[in-house]
Each structure stands twice: as C-alpha cells, then as structure tokens.
C-alpha cells in the first residue's frame, strides 16, 4: 500500500536524500452532472480514498526530473522549453511547468510519483497528477498555493494536453471533503458541500477499456464541447439573448423557453455553418487552448444539447434527493443519467452499459458511467450491505477491477 512513508523511501531510492514536500492528490468520482462542466453547468463529484502521491525536492539546474512507479520513461524537461513531450504523462508535467513559469524561474526539481489510483479514464488520474505536481512544485520552490489556485492552474495546464476540459476534476481533487459530495458551479464559480446520508455506499468498476482523455478520447470529447457551443449560439439567437465570448449552454439553460426550443436545433451542423447562420465569428465556437477543430466538420447538436440540459436538471434533483435521504430517487437519477449519456451524449460503450446493468441487478440503487465515458469506469450507489454483491457482479461482467470508494478529503500535504 502506498503511503507518505513509502513515497519518501521511493524518492530516496531514486534520487537520494529526502523530499522537501510530499503531496497527496486523490482521484475523483463524479456522482452526477456529466459533460455539463464545460457548458458552465453544475456537477456533483466526490474526492475518493485512492490517490496519487508526489514527493518533490528543489534543484538548482532548471530541469524537472520525474519518475513514476506506474508509468514508463523518466521525464527530463527543461523549464526553459517545457513543450512537445511524446510520452503522454509527460504532457501533464510540461503543462504544469508552463503554468508555473513565473515561480522561481531557473530552479528545477526532482519528483517521485506513486499511488493507488488506477489510470485509464474515469477516476481522474491525470488531473490528480497535474493538481498534485503543481502543488508540490510550487511548495518546493517556496511559493505554496491555495488548493483552489492549484485547481485553476491545473485546469489550464491540462488543456495543453489537448482536451478542452471543464474544471470539475481539478476542483473535486483540490477541495474534496470526507463524507461530502461537492456541488460545483461555474457561472459564477461556487462550491457547496453536500453531506452524504447514512446508508449510501459507492462502488466503482472498470469497463475493461482505457479512455485517456489526453489520448484517444480527446477528439470525441472535443466534438461534444463544440456541439454544445453551437447549440448555445443557436439557442441564444432563437431566444434573442446576446452572448459574449464562448457560447455556453449554461448561459441559456435558466431561460424557460430553452428546454422547449431545443427540439428546433439541427441534428447535425458544422461550426462554420452555425456561425454564418447567426452572423457570429466561428472562432468563438472552435477556439481551444491548443488543439485544432475543423470548422467544416459536422457535429451532432440537438442530442448533445438535450443531454446537457436534462443532466443539469438531474443534478439539482440529485442534490435534493441526497438532502432528503431519498436514495431510491437518487439511484433512479443515476440510471437516467446513464441512459441520457448513452442515447444522447453517445459516450457510453457496450462494456459500460453491461457493467452498469450488472451492478443495478445485484442490488445497487443506481449505476452509471462516470467521467468522460468512451471506456474507463462506472459508479454504483448502493446500500452498504450490498457492496460485496455489487463488486462481484461487476467483476463477473467485465473482469474488474471493482472496489468500494468513500468520499474523502481533497489535496493535502503528507
């Protein structure tokens, strides 16, 4: 088992000496509110009791050297030229360095990374790495950050890996609280803790397929970001609302007529055509931090918007259900979320459908894919007495791993 002691020993074995800083960055499981954060609409995740640990010590030579117990290839990245890494996990390190360019310029660091948070999509291992590395480096260089600031920098840093993600993962990791979910809002930014009632346990189960959002999933993910931006642009036009900057469904979701008008949206449309139709600059729709999106590529618009607007309502209903201790309703909302992700957002897979169905059948209140989808993990909410049965059903469905997770504290220094 990985602990602050084992990571210190690992650091000593690799680099010699003691680290000056050890950070624990937990994974996260999103309970509900999927593919809503990048639309500026709320999410309801927990930080979990599985984490990535990062041990760091400063050096004088301006080079970041990092070894991971889980990933191949030691990183050696010059602070003066942090871009263009070929190894996927190194991209997160270079994104972190880019965001910390103004902190102790010229100094370097040695990092040793280990943990018990599985990679592969769904539990936010990449965000745990990025939030943890940013916090560890800033502290090692004498400028420790508030967790919320580490989350903000990590969100931008991760966009350098190409997926235009929304900011849920980094905040859940930075700000999680034992025994609570977090309701995170984006327009304007706010976090509210939602106590989890008695009699509620969570199981997560691997679908058997990796879904790295910095890799194969990036393009599919970005297509959904663009599809929802087109929907926001066109809905705003239909409703006679002026939107500034990037069009987000969160800007129109509060208007009653929006949920009625959504059926008027086109099934498919290219960003260029949408921008022409409403006389807007297409850059507002396709502008990303680093990756490029083809303005002539047709993307589904109506279904993505239907998923997002209905999912935002389910987040509100789920929070109410948790406050009332109504776990049956909470479970039903998770199932409805999964159906909407499968049918409208189209980010489920046969393996995710199968494992979610198996967990429901074995006594869960409800189950759904968690995270971006396309593989990765599913989550089930279940009575504590059913945890074992749900784990076994999940392993029988896809081969596992499947295990219980508990809502835990966020980022900490060990």
**Could you list the active site residues?**
169
For the purposes of burial, counting CB atoms within 10 Å of the CB of 18, is it exposed (0-12), middle (13-18) or buried (19 or more)? exposed
Sheet with 21-32, strands from edge to edge, namely 75-78, 63-68, 108-115, 44-59, 21-32, 412-413
Q: How far is the CB of 166 from ligand GLA (least distance, A)?
A: 4
Closest contact distance (angstroms) between CB of 87 and ligand GLA is 20
Question: Which among 189, 192, 171, 193 is positioned nearest to 180, based on CA atoms?
Answer: 193
258 in helix, strand or coil? helix
Write down the residue that tokens 């900011």 correspond to: 167
| Residue closer to ligand GLA (CB basis): 30 or 348 | 30
Least separation in angstroms between CB 223 and ligand GLA: 13
Q: Are strands 201-206 and 377-382 parallel, antiparallel or unpaired?
A: antiparallel
Please tell me whether residue 45 binds ligand GLA under the rule CB under 6 A.
Answer: no
Burial 355-371 (b: 16+ CB within 10 A, else e): bbbbbbebbbbbbbbbb
From 46-54, 74-82, 165-173, 358-366, give the range in contact with ligand GLA by CB under 6 A.
Answer: 165-173
Q: Is residue 372 part of the contact set for ligand GLA (CB under 6 A)?
A: yes
CB of 174 to ligand GLA, least distance (A): 13
| Binding-site size, ligand GLA (CB under 6 A) | 12
3 SS3 class:
coil
Helix (H, G, I), strand (E, B) or coil at 103: coil
Site string for ligand GLA, 167-206 (x = CB under 6 A): -xx-------------------------------------
**Per-residue interface string for the shown chain with ligand GLA, residues 298-337, x marking contact by CB under 6 A:** ----------------------------------------
Residues 6+ apart with CB under 8 A from 343: 303
- Binding ligand GLA by CB under 6 A: which of 115, 166, 176, 331? 166
Residues in the chain: 414
Using only C-alpha atoms, what is the Rg of the chain? 21
What is the nearest approach in angstroms of ligand GLA to the Cβ of residue 33?
7
Residue 110 binds ligand GLA (CB under 6 A): no
Query: From CA 183, how far away is CA 45, in angstroms rounded?
Result: 7
Q: What residues contact residue 406 under an 8 Å CB cut-off, 6+ apart?
A: 48, 49, 178, 201, 202
Which one of 247, 300, 371, 410 is in contact with ligand GLA (CB under 6 A)? 371
**Binding letters toward ligand GLA, positions 204-223, x by CB under 6 A:** ---------x----------
* Subset of residues 12 to 41 that bind ligand GLA, contact rule: CB under 6 A: 30, 34-35, 37-38
Chain residues that interact with ligand GLA, rule: CB under 6 A: 30, 34-35, 37-38, 165-166, 168-169, 213, 371-372
């Amino acid at each position: 088992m990985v602990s602050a002691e084992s990571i210190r020993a690992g650091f000593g074995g690799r680099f010699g000496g003691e680290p000056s800083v050890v950070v624990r960055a937990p994974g996260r499981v999103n309970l509900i509110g999927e593919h809503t954060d990048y639309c500026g609409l709320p999410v309801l995740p927990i930080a979990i009791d599985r984490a990535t640990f990062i041990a760091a010590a400063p050096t004088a030579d301006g080079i970041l050297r990092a070894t991971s117990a889980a990933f191949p290839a030691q990183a050696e990245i010059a602070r003066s030229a942090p871009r263009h890494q070929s190894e996927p996990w190194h991209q997160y390190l270079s994104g972190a360095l880019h965001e910390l360019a103004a902190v102790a310029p010229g100094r370097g660091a040695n990092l040793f990374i280990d943990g018990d948070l599985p990679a592969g999509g769904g539990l936010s291992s990449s965000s745990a790495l990025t939030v943890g590395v940013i916090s560890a480096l800033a502290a090692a260089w004498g400028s420790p950050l508030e967790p919320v600031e580490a989350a903000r920098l990590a969100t931008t840093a991760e966009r350098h890996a190409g997926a235009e993600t929304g900011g849920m993962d980094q905040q859940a990791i930075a700000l999680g609280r034992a025994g609570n979910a977090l309701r995170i809002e984006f327009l304007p930014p706010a976090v509210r803790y939602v106590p989890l009632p008695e009699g509620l346990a969570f199981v997560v189960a691997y679908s058997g397929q990796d879904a790295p959002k910095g890799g194969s999933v990036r393009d599919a993910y970005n297509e959904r970001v663009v599809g929802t931006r087109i929907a926001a642009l066109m809905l705003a036009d239909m409703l006679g609302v002026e939107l500034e900057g990037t069009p987000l469904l969160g800007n129109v979701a509060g208007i009653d007529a929006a949920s009625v008008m959504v059926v008027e949206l086109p099934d498919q449309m290219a960003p260029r055509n949408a921008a022409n139709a409403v006389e807007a600059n297409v850059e507002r729709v396709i502008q990303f931090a680093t990756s490029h999106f083809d303005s002539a590529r047709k993307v589904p618009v109506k279904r993505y918007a239907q998923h997002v607007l209905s999912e935002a309502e389910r987040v509100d209903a789920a929070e109410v259900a948790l406050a009332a201790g109504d776990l049956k309703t909470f479970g039903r909302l998770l199932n409805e979320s999964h159906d909407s992700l499968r049918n409208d957002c189209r980010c489920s897979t046969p393996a995710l459908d199968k494992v979610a169905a198996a967990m429901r059948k074995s006594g869960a209140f409800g189950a759904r894919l968690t995270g971006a989808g396309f593989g990765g993990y599913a989550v089930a909410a279940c009575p504590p007495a059913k945890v074992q049965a749900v784990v076994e059903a999940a392993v029988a469905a896809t081969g596992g791993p499947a295990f219980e997770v508990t809502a835990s504290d966020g980022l900490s220094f060990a």
